[in-house]
C-alpha cells in the first residue's frame, strides 16, 4: 500500500464525545406495521365465520387486496422524495424500501386477483376464465382496475434486476412513472366493491385520507417544490473543469444558493437542459461545500449522461431537485473519523473532509484508486489536509496491477483505535461491500459506518 501522510505529532488525549443518534428508520417501520395491523383489524371486524372452500378463498382474497392496497400507498409515498425520509433515513435506504414494498404489493395484488376469482368461480360453479370476464365486465370500476393491475405487473417485470440492468435508465424511469396512473386506476374499485368500505363511512374516509395524503405529498415534493426551487435560484453551468482522466467538475452558478439548505455529503438530482441530456435526471453529490452563488459536482464518465457532462457549454440551464441524502456531519457520534473513498465516491467525501469538525489525527481520509493519475481532486485534498493537520492516505494498484486490499488487519495497523471511530464510506459497490466487511471485522459497530449508495 502506497501512503502519503500529513499529520500533526501526537494525538489528542481528551476528545469530545457525542451520543449516537437513534435510528430514524425504527419508528417509521413501527408506524408502517401499525398501519398494516389497522388494515388487518378492519378485515377481521368485517369477516364473519368462514365456511367452505369458496369463502376461504374469497376472504383470503379480500385480506390480500386490503394489504396490497395499503402497501401500494406506501410504495407511492416512498417515491415522493419527502425530506424527512430522504435526509434523515437516507435516500439509498428509502430506495431499498421502495423496491421491497413494490415486490410485496405486487405479490399481494396478484394473490388478491387469483384468490377472488377462484373463490367467486367456486361459489358460482363456473370456470376461472368465465368468472374473470364476469368480474371485469359487470363489477363497478373493474375495467379500470384490470388495466391498472396489468400496468403494475408490467412495471414490476421491467423493474426486475435482469431486465432493469439491460434497459437504459431513462426508459425505465419514464415507464416507472406510470405507477402513478396504475395506482389511480386501481384505487376506485377498492371503495366500490370492497366489503370493508361499502356502508362504512369511517373506513372509507380513512382510505381517502391515506391516499389523499400520499397524493398531496407527491404533488408537493415531486412537482411544486422543484418548480419553486428552480424558478427561485435559476441555476446555469458556469464552467466545466477536467480533474482526472474521465473525470470533470461542473461549476453551477445560481442566485442565493445558500438558501437551498444543502450540506456537505448531500446530493441533488440534476437535469441539464442541453441537447441529448434534457430527458435524463441523475444523482450527483456535491464535491465542495455549497457557497452562496456556486455549487460544484465532480463526475466520472461511466455512462451516456455522465460522459456528456464534459461537453456542457457555459450558460446551459440546470434543473435540480434536492438536496437529498443523510451522509452528513449530523451522523457523526465520535470525535475521531475515518473516511474511505473509491472512484467517484471521493466527491461527497471531499466536501466532508473540508467541513467535518476536528483537526489533526482525529480526521483520516483513505482514498482508493487504480493509479495515482486517477486520484481526482488530489491537490485540493492535500491542501485541506495541510490546513487542517488531517491525515491523508491513498492506496493504488501496483505496477503489475495488483490491488491493495483493505483488510481489518491493515485498518487496525493504520488506526489502532479504529473501533472508536465513525467511518464515512463511499465508492463502487464492490469496494463498499469489502470495506464494510473489513470495518465490521475490525470492531467498528454497524451504527457508526455511514454509507449511501446512489446506484441507479
pLDDT number for residue 454 = 58
Distance CA 71, CA 32 (A): 9
Contact 286, 295 (CB under 8 A): yes
- For residues 100 and 358, which has the higher predicted lDDT (pLDDT)? 100
Give residue 8's pLDDT: 30
Query: In the chain, pLDDT over 90 holds for what percent of residues?
Result: 60
Q: CA 176, 180, 182: angle at the middle one, nearest 5?
A: 90
* pLDDT tens digits, 70-123: 999 999 999 999 988 877 787 888 888 999 999 999 999 999 999 999 999 999
Neighbouring residues of 157: CB distance < 8 A, sequence distance ≥ 6: 163
- What whole-number distance in Å separates Cα of residue 315 and Cα of residue 319? 13
> From the CB of residue 324, how many other CB atoms can be counted at a distance below 10 Å?
23
What order of strands is seen across the sheet that includes strand 318-324?
282-285, 267-272, 318-324
Residue 422 has pLDDT above 90, yes or no: yes
Q: What is the pLDDT of residues 174-210, one digit of tens each?
A: 888 999 999 999 999 999 988 889 889 999 999 999 9
- Residues 391-425 as b/e (b if ≥16 CB within 10 A, e otherwise) read bbbbbbbeeeeeeeebebebbbebbeebeebbbbb
Q: What is the pLDDT of residue 160?
A: 81
CA distance 306 to 237: 15
- Greater confidence (79 vs 163) lies with 79
309: which DSSP letter? G
Cα distances from 306 to residues 19, 122, 344, in angstroms, run 39, 56, 11
- Quick count: other Cβ atoms within 10 Å of Cβ 5? 11
Mean pLDDT to the nearest integer, 346-374:
88
> Hey, CA dihedral for 411, 416, 417, 421, is it positive or negative?
negative
Closest CA to 93 of 112, 111, 78, 73: 78
Give the pLDDT confidence of 245-285 residue by residue, as tens digits. Answer: 889 999 999 999 989 989 999 999 999 999 888 888 889 99
The mean per-residue pLDDT over the stretch 435-439 comes to 92
Q: How confident is the model at residue 61 (pLDDT cuts 50, 70, 90)?
A: very high
| 31 has pLDDT over 50 | yes
Residue position matching grid coordinates 376506485: 188
pLDDT at 6: 32
Q: Which residues contact 115 (CB under 8 A, 6 or more apart)?
A: 57, 58, 60, 61, 64
Angle between the N-to-C axes of helices 169-176 and 142-158, in degrees from 0 to 180, rounded to the nearest 10:
160
H-only helix segments in 46-90? 53-77, 83-85
For residue 421, list its beta bridge partners.
336
So what's the pLDDT on residue 86? 79
Q: How far apart, in whole angstroms, are the C-alpha atoms of residue 94 and residue 396?
A: 33
Provide the pLDDT confidence category of residue 23 given band limits of 50, 70 and 90: low
Please count the residues of the chain: 456
Q: What is the pLDDT of residue 399?
A: 78
Model confidence, pTM: 0.82
CA–CA gap between residue 411 and residue 438 (Å, rounded): 8
Q: How confident is the model at residue 12 (pLDDT cuts 50, 70, 90)?
A: very low
Amino acid at each position: 500500500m502506497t501512503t502519503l501522510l500529513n499529520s500533526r505529532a501526537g494525538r489528542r488525549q481528551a476528545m469530545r464525545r457525542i451520543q449516537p443518534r437513534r435510528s430514524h428508520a425504527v419508528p417509521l417501520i413501527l408506524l408502517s406495521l401499525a398501519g398494516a395491523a389497522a388494515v388487518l383489524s378492519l378485515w377481521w371486524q368485517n369477516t364473519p365465520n368462514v365456511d367452505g372452500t369458496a369463502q376461504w378463498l374469497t376472504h383470503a382474497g379480500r385480506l390480500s387486496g386490503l394489504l396490497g392496497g395499503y402497501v401500494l400507498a406506501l410504495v407511492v409515498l416512498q417515491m415522493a422524495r419527502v425530506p424527512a425520509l430522504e435526509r434523515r433515513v437516507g435516500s439509498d435506504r428509502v430506495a431499498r424500501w421502495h423496491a421491497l414494498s413494490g415486490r410485496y404489493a405486487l405479490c399481494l395484488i396478484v394473490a388478491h386477483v387469483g384468490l377472488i376469482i377462484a373463490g367467486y368461480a367456486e361459489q358460482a360453479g363456473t370456470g376461472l376464465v368465465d368468472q374473470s370476464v364476469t368480474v371485469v365486465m359487470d363489477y363497478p370500476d373493474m375495467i379500470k382496475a384490470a388495466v391498472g393491475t396489468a400496468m403494475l405487473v408490467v412495471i414490476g417485470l421491467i423493474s426486475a434486476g435482469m431486465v432493469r440492468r439491460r434497459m437504459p435508465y431513462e426508459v425505465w424511469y419514464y415507464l416507472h412513472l406510470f405507477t402513478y396512473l396504475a395506482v389511480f386506476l386501481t384505487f376506485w374499485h377498492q371503495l366500490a366493491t370492497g366489503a370493508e368500505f361499502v356502508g362504512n363511512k369511517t373506513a372509507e374516509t380513512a382510505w381517502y385520507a391515506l391516499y389523499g395524503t400520499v397524493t398531496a405529498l407527491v404533488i408537493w415534493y415531486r412537482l411544486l417544490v422543484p418548480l419553486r426551487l428552480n424558478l427561485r435560484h435559476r441555476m446555469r453551468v458556469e464552467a466545466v473543469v477536467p480533474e482526472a482522466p474521465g473525470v470533470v467538475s461542473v461549476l453551477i452558478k445560481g442566485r442565493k444558493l445558500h438558501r437551498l439548505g444543502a450540506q456537505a455529503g448531500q446530493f441533488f438530482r440534476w437535469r441539464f437542459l442541453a441537447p441529448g441530456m434534457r430527458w435524463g435526471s441523475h444523482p450527483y453529490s456535491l464535491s465542495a461545500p455549497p457557497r452562496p452563488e456556486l455549487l460544484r459536482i465532480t463526475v466520472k464518465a461511466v455512462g451516456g449522461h455522465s460522459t456528456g457532462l464534459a461537453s456542457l457549454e457555459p450558460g446551459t440551464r440546470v434543473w435540480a431537485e434536492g438536496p437529498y441524502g443523510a451522509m452528513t456531519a449530523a451522523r457523526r457520534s465520535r470525535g475521531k473519523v475515518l473516511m474511505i473513498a473509491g472512484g467517484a465516491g471521493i466527491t461527497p467525501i471531499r466536501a466532508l473532509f473540508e467541513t467535518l469538525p476536528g483537526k489533526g489525527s482525529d480526521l483520516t481520509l483513505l482514498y482508493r484508486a487504480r493509479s495515482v493519475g486517477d486520484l481526482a481532486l488530489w491537490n485540493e485534498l492535500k491542501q485541506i489536509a495541510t490546513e487542517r493537520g488531517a491525515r491523508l492516505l491513498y492506496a493504488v494498484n501496483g505496477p503489475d496491477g495488483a490491488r491493495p486490499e483493505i483488510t481489518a488487519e491493515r485498518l487496525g495497523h493504520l488506526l489502532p483505535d479504529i473501533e472508536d471511530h465513525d467511518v464515512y464510506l463511499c465508492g463502487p459497490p464492490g469496494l463498499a461491500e469489502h470495506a464494510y466487511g473489513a470495518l465490521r471485522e475490525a470492531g467498528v459497530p454497524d451504527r457508526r459506518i455511514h454509507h449511501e449508495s446512489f446506484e441507479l
